[in-house]
């Protein structure tokens, strides 16, 4: 179980502070994983090696990227996680402040306890992440709330982030129950805990088209998280959605989903728009590999939670700033002057098996 999420920073300290049950939830090994299995998302990224390009006379590298109509300082952001105050007394706020200092995007789970308005007051570069489940007026209400808080956009998670069967939740821990017991309400819920939503929502492209038209009216960019099948990717442009997030939700419900790194070439072939990579990003170099595979930006989650638990805002800032420095150096050595110039030609022909 220790390395299921890949090597995390501050691993021992984080485990000590969280205690075994909560640490297991963060790591999130699913019931169908092999004992002591490694994180396939991270492993598949590690299989790629980069090709430096020399004598290109590049004077500098511009790491900035455009996504969702906004410019970010580097192709890196922090992804969504539920139950922020369980991990730190200030919840997401230290991460929001670190992201503001670095001008990197932050996704906020609708299962966050800290009010959205408070987080957006600290930093407006936030995307509200909603579960594509339940009735449409609830989603519309939350999108309007995000627009009122001047959030930067919306992420709709279309692959369920929860397991429907009690006891099969990631790491065998129910964050909803933990929050409910403490009387804590989350952004998307009408009562303490998290909103009870169907695990198999039965949504189709009609619902996505409806939500994307609604979000467009409010000038909120919309991204779909959890796209891995090329046929799904092919249908995205007709739905009005602005970008997709290649993600298996960190293999938290099943260890057997394909990995984003594995699917990127096919997704790139079938979808012309922006693709965000999520899952297994554990260094700035992983971000460069993702950019070579065609990702506009990569999201990271568990390393940031680990840093938050162990050292608050400064630890999160130092972690992300270190990765941004790595992205700058490695892409410079690839001989490019902008991140968008990275492409599969910078990857050694055959990934290691």
Assess 287 for contact with ligand FMN (CB under 6 A): no
Judge whether 94 and 316 are in contact, CB under 8 Å.
yes
Which residues inside 162-221 make contact with ligand FMN, applying CB under 6 A?
A: none
Judge whether 240 and 209 are in contact, CB under 8 Å.
yes
Nearest alpha carbon to residue 299 among 249, 240, 242: 249
Assess 278 for contact with ligand FMN (CB under 6 A): yes
Assess 63 for contact with ligand FMN (CB under 6 A): no
| Cα end-to-end distance, the chain, whole Å | 22
Between 126 and 165, how does the x/- string for binding to ligand FMN read (CB under 6 A)?
---x---------------------------x---x----
Assess 81 for contact with ligand FMN (CB under 6 A): yes
Of 279 and 312, CB closest to ligand FMN: 279
83 Cβ partners below 8 Å, 6+ apart? 111, 112, 113, 175, 178, 179, 186
Q: What are phi and psi of 52, to 5 degrees?
A: -70, 150
Rounded to the nearest whole angstrom, what is the least distance from the CB of residue 129 to ligand FMN in the complex? 5
Q: 256-261: list long-range contacts, CB under 8 Å, 24+ apart.
A: 256/32, 257/228, 258/228, 259/40, 259/41, 259/44, 260/41, 260/44, 260/228, 260/290, 261/41, 261/44, 261/45, 261/47, 261/48, 261/289, 261/290, 261/293
Q: Which of 279, 284, 294, 311 binds ligand FMN (CB under 6 A)?
A: 279
Of 120 and 301, CB closest to ligand FMN: 301
Helix-strand-coil split of the chain, %, nearest 5: 45, 15, 45
Rounded to the nearest whole angstrom, what is the least distance from the CB of residue 183 to ligand FMN in the complex? 19
Assess 268 for contact with ligand FMN (CB under 6 A): no
Of 301 and 347, CB closest to ligand FMN: 301
Rounded to the nearest whole angstrom, what is the least distance from the CB of residue 277 to ligand FMN in the complex? 10
- Cα angle at 89 between 247 and 91, to 5 degrees? 30
Rounded to the nearest whole angstrom, what is the least distance from the CB of residue 157 to ligand FMN in the complex? 4
Choose the binding region for ligand FMN from 56-64, 79-87, 135-143, 313-321 (rule: CB under 6 A). 79-87
Q: Which of 259, 285, 300, 331 binds ligand FMN (CB under 6 A)?
A: 300
Q: Which of 67, 281, 307, 310 binds ligand FMN (CB under 6 A)?
A: 281
Of 63 and 186, CB closest to ligand FMN: 186
260 Cβ partners below 8 Å, 6+ apart? 41, 44, 228, 246, 247, 248, 277, 278, 279, 280, 290
Of 111 and 207, CB closest to ligand FMN: 111
Residue ranges binding ligand FMN (CB under 6 A): 5, 26, 28, 41, 79-82, 109, 111, 129, 157, 161, 225, 247, 249-250, 278-281, 300-302
């Amino acid at each position: 179980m220790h390395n299921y999420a890949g090597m995390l920073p501050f691993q021992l300290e984080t485990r000590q502070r969280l205690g075994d049950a909560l640490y297991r939830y963060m790591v999130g090994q699913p019931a169908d994983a092999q004992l002591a299995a490694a994180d396939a998302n991270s492993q598949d990224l590690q299989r790629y090696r980069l090709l430096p390009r020399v004598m290109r006379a590049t004077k500098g590298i511009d790491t900035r990227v455009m996504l969702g109509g906004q410019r970010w300082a580097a192709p890196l952001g922090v992804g969504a996680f539920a139950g922020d105050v369980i991990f730190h007394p200030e919840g997401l706020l230290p991460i929001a402040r670190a992201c503001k200092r670095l001008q990197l995007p932050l996704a906020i789970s609708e299962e966050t306890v800290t009010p959205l308005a408070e987080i957006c007051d600290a930093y407006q570069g936030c995307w509200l992440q909603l579960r594509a489940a339940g009735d449409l007026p609830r989603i519309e209400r939350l999108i309007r709330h995000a627009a009122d808080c001047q959030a930067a956009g919306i992420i709709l998670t279309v692959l369920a982030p929860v397991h429907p069967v009690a006891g099969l939740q990631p790491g065998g821990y129910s964050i909803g129950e933990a929050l409910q017991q403490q009387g804590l309400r989350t952004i998307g819920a009408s009562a303490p805990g998290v909103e009870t939503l169907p695990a198999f929502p039965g949504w189709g492209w009609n619902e996505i088209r409806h939500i994307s038209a609604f979000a467009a009216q409010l000038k909120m960019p919309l991204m779909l998280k959890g796209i891995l099948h090329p046929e799904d990717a092919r249908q995205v442009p007709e739905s009005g959605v602005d970008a997709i997030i290649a993600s298996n939700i960190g293999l938290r419900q099943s260890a057997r989903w394909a990995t984003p790194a594995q699917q990127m070439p096919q997704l790139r072939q079938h979808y012309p728009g922006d693709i965000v990579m999520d899952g297994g990003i554990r260094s700035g170099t992983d971000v460069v590999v993702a950019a070579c595979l065609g990702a506009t930006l990569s999201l990271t989650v568990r390393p940031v939670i680990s840093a938050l638990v162990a050292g608050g805002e400064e630890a999160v800032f130092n972690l992300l700033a270190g990765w941004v420095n790595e992205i700058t150096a490695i892409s410079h050595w690839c001989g490019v002057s902008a991140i968008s110039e990275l492409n599969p030609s910078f990857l050694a022909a055959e990934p290691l098996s």
